[in-house]
């Protein structure tokens, strides 16, 4: 994953990270690599409307993973490709929206 992000940034692309994803990864202290990753990306904020859309997506997909639903909701607004080392729930959620491609990658 780090290699993909580095290549995107070197090509002048700005990857997007939905804010809830940071919750799953951030544990405080010195996380230099993760801090650099976040700095190189655009953080997609989770406001009330987007949170409701992600919740509705959870309902349609019978999912209990709100972070993955926020990822798919975020990607669906832009027609993004989602890179992930854990495609399971994302694939299920993506089936309920259009324009999102899930691309599995080797570990993070």
Q: How far apart are CA 22 and CA 29, in angstroms?
A: 14
Structure pTM? 0.90
Contact 97, 80 (CB under 8 A): no
Predicted pLDDT at 8? 87
In this prediction, residue 107 has a pLDDT band, given cuts at 50, 70 and 90, of: low
User: What's the whole-number average pLDDT of the chain?
Assistant: 92
Give 45-63 pLDDT, tens digit per residue. Answer: 999 999 999 999 999 999 9
Q: Which residues contact 45 (CB under 8 A, 6 or more apart)?
A: 19
Predicted pLDDT at 108? 58
Structural domains present in the chain: 2-104 (3.40.50.1010)
Q: Give the N- to C-terminal CA distance of the chain in Å, as an integer.
A: 5
């Amino acid at each position: 994953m780090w290699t993909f992000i580095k290549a995107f940034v070197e090509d002048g692309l700005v990857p997007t990270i939905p804010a809830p994803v940071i919750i799953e990864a951030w544990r405080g202290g010195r996380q230099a690599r993760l801090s650099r990753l976040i700095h190189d990306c655009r953080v997609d904020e989770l406001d009330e409307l987007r949170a409701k859309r992600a919740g509705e997506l959870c309902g349609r997909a019978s999912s209990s993973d709100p972070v993955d639903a926020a990822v798919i909701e975020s990607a669906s607004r832009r027609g993004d490709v989602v890179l992930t080392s854990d495609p399971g729930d994302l694939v299920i959620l993506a089936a309920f929206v259009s324009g999102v491609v899930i691309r599995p990658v080797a570990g993070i």
